[in-house]
Structure 1
Amino acid sequence: MKKWFAVIGDPIEHSKSPAMHNAWFEEMDIDATYIPIHVASHQLESAVAGLKTLGASGWNVTIPHKTAIIPYLDELDELAQKMGAVNTVVRTQEGKLKGYNTDGIGFVRSLEDAVGTTHKNKSVLLVGAGGAARGIAFAMQQQGYRDLTMANRTVANAQAIVDEMGMGRAISLQEAEETLADFSIIVQMTSAGLATGNFSMPFSLDRLTTEAIVADIVYNPLMTPFLQAAEEQGATIVTGLGMFVHQGAIAFEHWLGSYPNTNSMIAQLKAQLGGN
C-alpha cells in the first residue's frame, strides 16, 4: 500500500520539504508521496487526529507547531524531550505517535560534512539562545563537542541552556565580539541571518581569525550577511543548506529505515538558490 507523509505549518507554501522528499522517493523507487498541509494553530489537535485517521506514516512539523504538538503525541525521543520541540513525527507499528527533533543532529552532520569530525575538542561559540540554538547545543553536546560557549543579548536565556546541559558557559554579545579570536567554530543562530527587514549583525567580525569555521543555520538566502562578513575575513564558511537537507534525511530514515542521498540534494537545492 502506498505510504504518505506530510509537513504541517503556518505558513507552509514556502517549504522545500515536499520537493526534497518526493525526489528521494523517486530516486530510491519508494511508492510514497509527501504533501504540504496548512494548519493554523487552532486546528492543530484536529489536524493530528486527521493525519492519524487518514493513515499518514509520519510527518514533519514546522513553525509554529514544534512545541504545541507535544501534548498530542504518545512519546518523545530523548533529544526532543530535552529540547521541548518536535519537528518529526513517526507512526510506529503499534499505531502510536512518536516525536523526534532532527534539527540539531542535522546541523552537526552538515558541519562535519563540510569540515570533518576532528574539531570536537575545539572551542565553539553558539550565537543565540532560542529554540534552534537550544537544539544545536544539546545535539553538539550529545555528539561529543565539549567546549561550548553560548552568547546572547539576554545572557540569562543563554545561561538557562548552559545550566540544563550541565556544561559550557554563557556570555554577552559584547564579550563574544571582544573574545572572537578565542573561538574555532562560530555558529550564528539568531534572526540576524535573515536578510529581511532591518538587518543588523549580532556583533562585528573584525576579530575573527582566518582559521575559524563560521556557520549560519539560515539557508535562504544561501549567503547570509553574517557569512559574507566571515568570508571577507578569510574564514571557512558553512551555509544552512546542509542542515536543512540532513534534518530531512534523518526524518526520512526514521520513517523508512534508509538514509537518502544528501550530496545530490544539496547540489540541486544550491543551484535553485543561486549558489555555485
Structure 2
Amino acid sequence: MSTVHKKRFGLLGKNISYSFSRGYFAEKFKEGNYDGCSYENFDLAEITSFPEIISNGKEEIKGINVTIPYKEAVIFYLDKLSKKAAKIGAVNTIKITKKGKLKGYNTDYYGFKKSLQPMLKPQHKKALILGTGGASKGVAFALGELGIDYTFVSRNNKDNTIDYSQLNEDVFKHYHIIINCTPVGTSPDIDACPDIPYEYFTSEHIAYDLIYNPAETKFLQQAKEKGAQIKNGLRMLELQAEKSWEIWNK
C-alpha cells in the first residue's frame, strides 16, 4: 500500500478567523481529490512567532499565503524573493523549497490586474489607491503594468501621496478608478467606509474594494448609487489563490 505524504498549506495573518483562503482550499482539495493536503490558519499576534511555525512543520509545510498585517514584515524571515515580489516590496505567497528555503512571491498584483482588466474603458487612465499598506503595493504594481497612473491617498505624508482632505470634485474628474486597499468596512464593521466625497462618483468611475466580506461594502454601495461600476475583492482572491497553488506545485 502506498503512503500518502502529508502536505500542509496555510494562511499567515492576524485575527484571520474570517479568512476566505481556508474554505477555498478545503473545497479545492475535496473536489480535486488531493489526498494528504490540508490548509490551516497560522493566526499570529506577532510576526516574531513565524520561524517557530516553520521549524515545527518543516517536513510537511509546502506553502503559505500571507495577509494583513504581515505582507511586508514577513520579508525579513525569507531566504529569497521573486523578481516581482522584490520590486513590489510585499509578499502574499511563500514557497518552501525541497531544500527547506523560503521564497516569497506576490500573486496579489496578478489577481487584481486580471480582475480589473475586463472593466477598463478609455477614460480609465488614472487611479486613486486608498491606503499604503502591503496590499496597496501589489495594486500599484498591477496598475503600472496596465499603464494606469496612480496616486496614493493616505494620512501619512509620503511621496506620490495626497491626504484624504485634498479629495474634491476636480480630483474625481481626473481620477476615474478608486481602489480601497484599507480594511475599513470589513465585517463586522460594515457601517464604516473610507472618508472620501462619494457625491463625486459618476458612471465614468470604477470603485474597486479589496474587501470581499461583506460582498457590497458601504464604499461600494455609495459609489454604485452614483452610477459607478463596482467590484469587490473576491475574484482577485480566487485568481491569486490559484496562482499561489501553481507556484507551490511547480
1:172 equivalent in structure 2: 163
Q: Unpaired runs of 5+ in structure 2? A: none
Q: Are residues 1:251 and 2:241 paired?
A: no
CA RMSD of aligned residues (A): 2.5
Offset of 1:13 from its aligned partner? 2.3
1:91 equivalent in structure 2: 96
- What secondary structure sits across from 2:202 in the alignment? coil
Deviations 1:210-246, CA, capped at 9 Å, x for gaps: 1211101111111111100110001110112122222
Separation (CA, whole Å) in 2 of partners of 1:92 and 1:51: 13
1:269 equivalent in structure 2: none
Offset of 1:119 from its aligned partner? 5.7
Q: Unpaired runs of 5+ in structure 1? A: 163-169, 258-276
* Change in 2 beyond 3 A, CA 1:209/1:12: closer
1:137-156 mapped onto 2 (5 Å cutoff): 137-141=140-144, 143-154=145-156, 156=157
1:18 equivalent in structure 2: 22
- What secondary structure sits across from 1:228 in the alignment? helix
Q: Are residues 1:127 and 2:130 paired?
A: yes
1:6-155 mapped onto 2 (5 Å cutoff): 6-31=10-35, 32-41=37-46, 42-52=48-58, 54-112=59-117, 114-115=118-119, 122-141=125-144, 143-154=145-156
Offset of 1:255 from its aligned partner? 1.1
Separation (CA, whole Å) in 2 of partners of 1:46 and 1:6: 14
- What secondary structure sits across from 2:104 in the alignment? strand
The total of aligned residue pairs comes to 242
Separation (CA, whole Å) in 2 of partners of 1:253 and 1:137: 23
- What secondary structure sits across from 1:199 in the alignment? coil
1:216 equivalent in structure 2: 209
* Change in 2 beyond 3 A, CA 1:136/1:120: farther
Separation (CA, whole Å) in 2 of partners of 1:98 and 1:237: 34
Between 98-107 and 31-40, the greater mean CA deviation after superposition: 31-40
Separation (CA, whole Å) in 1 of partners of 2:130 and 2:72: 22
Separation (CA, whole Å) in 2 of partners of 1:40 and 1:135: 24
1:253-268 mapped onto 2 (5 Å cutoff): 253-257=246-250
Offset of 1:200 from its aligned partner? 4.8
- What secondary structure sits across from 2:198 in the alignment? coil
* Change in 2 beyond 3 A, CA 1:130/1:193: same
Q: Say if 2:78 and 2:102, in contact at 8 Å, map to a contact too.
A: yes
Q: Higher helix fraction: Structure 1 or Structure 2?
A: 1
Offset of 1:120 from its aligned partner? 9.5
Q: Say if 2:22 and 2:40, in contact at 8 Å, map to a contact too.
A: yes
* Change in 2 beyond 3 A, CA 1:44/1:139: same
Separation (CA, whole Å) in 2 of partners of 1:247 and 1:93: 23
